[in-house]
């Protein structure tokens, strides 16, 4: 079955670099797009970026200078790297799968599976 | 960036009541192909968000028919008829028509 699971350091010092891994199973990274979404404690959701099934990436313009998303298809892993971390980067980081459905006329897109999320705390 | 404004911020209901959540966009969400990339997600306490509605009004597999999405252009609504205990949590609208994709700030559905 389809699963995604985020993993990472938990605690990162200010100004350092965050590295997270999203390990997927039940589908191929060359067939589906994987996105990253984060959520500060007690707050709403923020879309961070995507690695498309073809390997290209797009990022939230607010994070683009600091953010990089890559993958290793042989290991079914997607990587998020973000540098110059500040306390406001504290939160839960989710990876999810964006799926496509087609009814013969429209192509529909949606996030159908999410990982459980991994908590990242930026603190000295 | 497209701003999605959700109202109300919180909604107190009695089980069995109807609930209505509005999501207004700062720009039209109709894409050049005619499709509208507007989705609704529910985040239950301590859980990841889960998909309810995609393409404005299409219920995802397994979502009860008491969830109804509607709207067009810049104004969208999620209605929940006969609220049940498992419907409680925070509802988010989401747009993928314009880059960067954005979420609304959320509407918390709680018991009165």
- For residue range B24-52, what is the model confidence (pLDDT) as tens digits? 999 999 998 889 999 999 999 999 999 99
Kindly report the average pLDDT of chain B as a whole number: 96
Contact B35 A106 (CB under 8 A): yes
Pairing state of beta strands B10-13 and B107-111? parallel
What pLDDT does A102 receive?
86
Q: Which residues of chain B make contact with A64, given a CB cutoff of 8 A?
A: none
pLDDT in the model for residue A104: 83
Distances in Å between the Cα of B95 and the Cα atoms of A2, A26, A32, A60, A94 are 24, 26, 19, 13, 17
Least confident stretch, A20-24, A76-80, A104-108, B55-59: A104-108
> Is the four-CA dihedral B35, A69, A29, B60 of positive or negative sign?
negative
Q: For chain A, give the percent of residues with pLDDT over 70.
A: 100
CA–CA distance, A40 with A47 (Å, rounded to integer):
12
What is the reported pLDDT for A56?
A: 97
Q: Do A109 and B102 touch (CB under 8 A)?
A: no
CA atoms within 13 A of residue B42's CA, in its CB half-sphere: 17
pLDDT digits (tens, 9 = 90+) for A87-106: 999 999 999 999 998 888 88
Give the mean model confidence (pLDDT) for residues B76-102.
Answer: 96
Contact call for residues B83 and B15 (beta carbons, < 8 A): yes
Rounded to 5°, angle at Cα A84 from A82 and A87: 95
From residue A79, how far is each of A31, A59, A75, A93, B53 by CA, in Å?
A: 17, 13, 11, 12, 28
- Percent above pLDDT 70 for chain B: 100
Quote the tokens at residue A74.
């042989």
Q: Does B13 touch chain A (CB under 8 A)?
A: no
| CA A52 – CA B53 distance, rounded (Å) | 22
- CB-closest option in B35, B60, B103 to A45: B103
For chain B positions 43-72, those within 8 Å of chain A (CB to CB) are 43, 48-51, 54-55, 58, 60
Q: Do B103 and A46 touch (CB under 8 A)?
A: yes
Taking the Cβ of residue B91 and every Cβ of chain A, the question of whether any pair is shorter than 8 Å is answered with: no
| Interface residue A114 vs chain B (CB under 8 A) | yes
């Amino acid at each position: 079955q389809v699963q995604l699971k985020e993993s990472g350091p938990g605690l990162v010092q200010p100004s350092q670099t965050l590295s997270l891994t999203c390990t997927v199973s039940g589908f191929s990274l060359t067939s589906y797009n994987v996105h990253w979404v984060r959520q500060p404690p007690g707050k709403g959701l923020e879309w961070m970026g995507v690695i498309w099934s073809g390997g290209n990436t797009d990022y939230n313009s607010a994070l683009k200078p600091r953010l990089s998303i890559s993958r290793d298809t042989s290991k079914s892993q997607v990587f998020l790297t973000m540098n110059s971390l500040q306390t406001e980067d504290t939160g839960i980081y989710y990876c999810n799968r964006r799926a496509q459905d087609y009814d013969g006329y429209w192509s529909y897109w949606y996030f159908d599976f999410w990982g459980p999320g991994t908590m990242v705390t930026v603190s000295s | 960036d497209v701003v999605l404004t959700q109202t109300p911020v919180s909604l107190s209901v009695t089980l069995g009541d109807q609930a209505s959540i509005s999501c207004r966009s700062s720009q039209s969400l109709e894409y050049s192909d005619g499709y509208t990339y507007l989705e609704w997600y529910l985040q239950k306490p301590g859980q990841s968000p889960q998909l309810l509605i995609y393409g404005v009004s299409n219920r995802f597999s397994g979502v009860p028919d008491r969830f109804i999405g509607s709207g067009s252009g810049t104004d969208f609504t999620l209605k929940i008829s006969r609220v049940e205990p498992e419907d409680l949590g925070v509802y988010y609208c989401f747009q993928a028509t314009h880059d960067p994709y954005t979420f609304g700030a959320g509407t918390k559905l709680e018991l009165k």
